[in-house]
Structure 1
Amino acid sequence: MIFEQHPHRRYNPLTREWVLVSPHRSNRPWQGQSEAPVNRQRPPHDAGCYLCAGNERANGVRNPDYTGPFVFENDFPALLKDTPFHEDTGSPLFQSRTACGTSRVICFSERHDLTLPALPVEAIRKVVDVWVREYETLARDYAWVAIFENKGAMMGCSNPHPHGQIWASDFVPSEVAREDQAQEAFLSETGQNLLVSYCEAEQSGETRVVVENDDWIAVVPFWAVWPFETLLTPKRHRPRLTDLSTQERDRLAEILKRLCTRYDGLFRTEFPYSMGWHGAPPGLKETAHWQLHAHFYPPLLRSATVRKFLVGYEMLAEPQRDLTAEQAAARLRAQSETLEQDTFG
């Protein structure tokens, strides 16, 4: 295949954008910035951690002695419930509108030292249940519920205790709106659900499949931007987290552990990433075009200390990557699904 070695562009039907792929550049020498190696050695409980059970947070509130997932209102929220309403649309050049919402933090467990892949499947299943419960609760009052995790200092995570975030807003964010429009257009033009069809096509080819089970599939998408980006989606039509069956929740916990363990094994480090769920916005009545999915955006490029930067051409023209999606998927597939924590720095 000529595209394995030569520059080409790939189309992302989910955002209706293109990405430039330059596989011939993957072996170029690197003399740029290198990150400090991640130290995995953390205690099960850190007396100085704001998120550990029983500890006092930055605002003076003390956490309960929780076990399992723990959710609380973010002490420094990006969105506020009681922002006074204001709208200025008088000029097409200077438009603004009030944004209201709420922000919550979810600690995955009381263990300060265990990230998602290090937790047993049963503990991850509890996290899945919290995701669904929080979505269901917040969706009653808000136009969008963002459930995501920033893992690692490289991704801006300010506290090493394994946790994620939940932001609910009275507006549908731009990225979600683009996906909504693209999926609706695909259904209108083809009569098929975009991601359900894509999932079926990837299963038949298998070159970009990283891991799958009876209910879920994780692939390095054909149009991936980040070097080891993955897309995780149900195999059957499920517009929202709340549409998942008991069995699908069980198998989601299982595949999350398997996928994240492969990430950690790739460069023998706690693999940093930003991940989050996209599904049909709560207020949307017609959801035939929507398919629930999670994006994993990890920045590491060629080792635990060398990352991909989206700068220059990416910021001024369009995304560009050096490693093909097929090469990335093959490297992830080659990893063990057994987490060997003691071999990491």
Structure 2
Amino acid sequence: MADLELTHRRKNPLSGDWVLVSPHRNNRPWLGATEANNHTEAPAFDAQCPLCPGNQRANDAINPQYQGTFVFTNDFGALNSAQQSVEHDATHPLLMAETASGECRVICFSEQHNLTLPELPIEAIEQVVDTWQQHYQTLAAQYQCVHIFENKGSVMGCSQPHPHGQIWAHDHLSSEIAVEDAKQHAYFAKHGRTMLADYVEHETNTRTRVVFENSHWLVVVPYWAAWPFETLVVAKDDVRHFGQMSQAQKSALAEAIKVLTTKYDNLFNCSFPYSMGWHNAPSQTNTDDSHWRLHGHFYPPLLRSATVKKHMVGYEMLAESQRDITAETAAALLQQASDIHYKQGRRDE
């Protein structure tokens, strides 16, 4: 096998994109921008927070005194269900547009303003997973594409500190899903096997990049990871979308999320920012989806510490993704991170 500490490229089979890996660059001195590392403890309830129970939102709606998860239609959703035709210049082949309609929902993970996913008890995360499934099933019955995701931390553009995620559903097939669908379909047609099932088998056999696994889920730093501590959460069973998950699979997913996000926080002793989301097989297509496997992508931006972020600029924007530490090094650091949250000792005192 080639020396993976030398500069080389790796291909992402889900997208077809290449990643330039330059391990020696992680030794360079850092004089660039750093992010603020705010250790201020938030209160369990914030009277000014539009997502806390009983508070007023920007559209004057009043939140109920909810316990556990709370879901509402996004007050400033990027999509709406109104069917409106888009006017565009059809006289030139480079000027294309089409109508986009759908729904955007917000999911508060709990009534606690100060508890992110890794800080919630496992039972609360199970409720989040149940909520994801319930709303997926409702929306997938109407829309072709359902995206469940979370932006954690202000560095990822999160505008509200109350821990929450979103669901966007729409008629069109999003670009990422369209590419992954085509790549997985082509692999299945060529090999007669599901791409991500084969990848799960390979990673569980080699174990080099495995961060966590249980009976139903594998968490791995993918061989082709672009972000420094990127992870892929893959169903080990033949599950193609959220609607197919059993209670056992949902409970196991809650455990995987708890362990992974706790390890993230423990890596630099901070509330580790990321964007994460689930890729489901397209719905409403009436086509065979046996080439699909449900999976989630976690894209955290931190590189060296709680204050040093990886910037996707310059070469990454104009050429291809580039990373400074190998996926194997990142996996080793996550493997070594404790699965007991670093704040737990403070709370137990």
Identify the TM-score tier after normalising by the shorter chain.
Answer: over 0.9
Shift of 1:40: 4.8
Q: Secondary structure at the match of 1:57?
A: coil
CA distance in 1, matches of 2:91, 2:40: 53
Per-residue deviation, 1:143: 1.3
Residue 49 of structure 1 pairs with residue 29 of structure 2: no
- Cα contact 1:268–1:343 (8 A) shared by 2: no
For residues 267 and 197 of structure 1, the distance between their equivalents in structure 2, rounded to whole angstroms, comes to 33
Distance 2:97 2:91 in 1: 9
Q: Whole-Å Cα distance in 1 between the matches of residues 79 and 343 of structure 2?
A: 37
Alignment correspondent of 1:33? 33
Which letter maps to 1:19? V
Q: Distance in 2 between matches of 1:315 and 1:3?
A: 27
Deviations 1:275-310 (A, max 9, x none): 000010112321111110000000000000000001
TM-score for both structures, normalised by structure 1: 0.97
Do 1:22 and 1:323's aligned partners in 2 also have CA atoms closer than 8 Å?
yes
Give the secondary-structure state (helix, strand or coil) at the position aligned to 2:312: coil
**In structure 2, the residue corresponding to 1:3 is in which secondary structure?**
coil
Counterparts of 1:1-345 in structure 2, within 5 Å, are 2-86=2-86, 88=88, 89-284=90-285, 285-341=287-343
Q: Secondary structure at the match of 2:150?
A: strand
1:182 aligned counterpart, secondary structure: helix
Matched-pair identity in %: 54
Report deviation, 1:200.
Answer: 0.7
Looking at structure 1, the residues matched to 185 and 345 of structure 2 have their Cα atoms a distance apart, in angstroms, of 47
Q: Which amino acid aligns with 1:71?
A: V
Q: Secondary structure at the match of 2:103?
A: strand
Instruction: Work out the CA distance in 1 between the residues paired with 2:93 and 2:239.
Output: 38
* Structure 1 unaligned blocks of 5 or more: none
Q: Given the two structures, how large is their TM-score scaled by the length of structure 2?
A: 0.96
Residue segments in structure 2 that go unaligned for 5+ positions in a row: none
Compared CA separation, residues 185 and 12, structure 1 to 2 (3 A) = same
Separation in 2 of the partners of 1:343 and 1:8? Answer: 42
Q: Report if aligned partners of 2:102, 2:171 keep a CA contact under 8 Å in 1.
A: yes
Alpha carbon RMSD of aligned pairs, Å?
A: 1.3
Q: Deviations over 1:83-108 (max 9, x none)?
A: 41236444211011111111110000
Does the aligned pair in 1 maintain the 2:240–2:290 contact within 8 Å? yes
The one-character-per-residue Cα deviations of 1:25-81 (angstroms, maximum 9, x if unpaired) are 111100000000033501000001000000001111110000000000001010011
Question: How far is 1:269 from its partner?
Answer: 0.2
Does structure 1 conserve the Cα–Cα contact (< 8 Å) formed by 2:241 and 2:280? yes
Q: Distance in 2 between matches of 1:140 and 1:243?
A: 13
Does the 8 Å contact 2:228/2:310 carry over to 1?
yes
Which AA in structure 2 matches 1:241? F
Contact 1:49 1:55 in 2 (8 A): yes
Determine helix, strand or coil for the equivalent of 1:181. helix
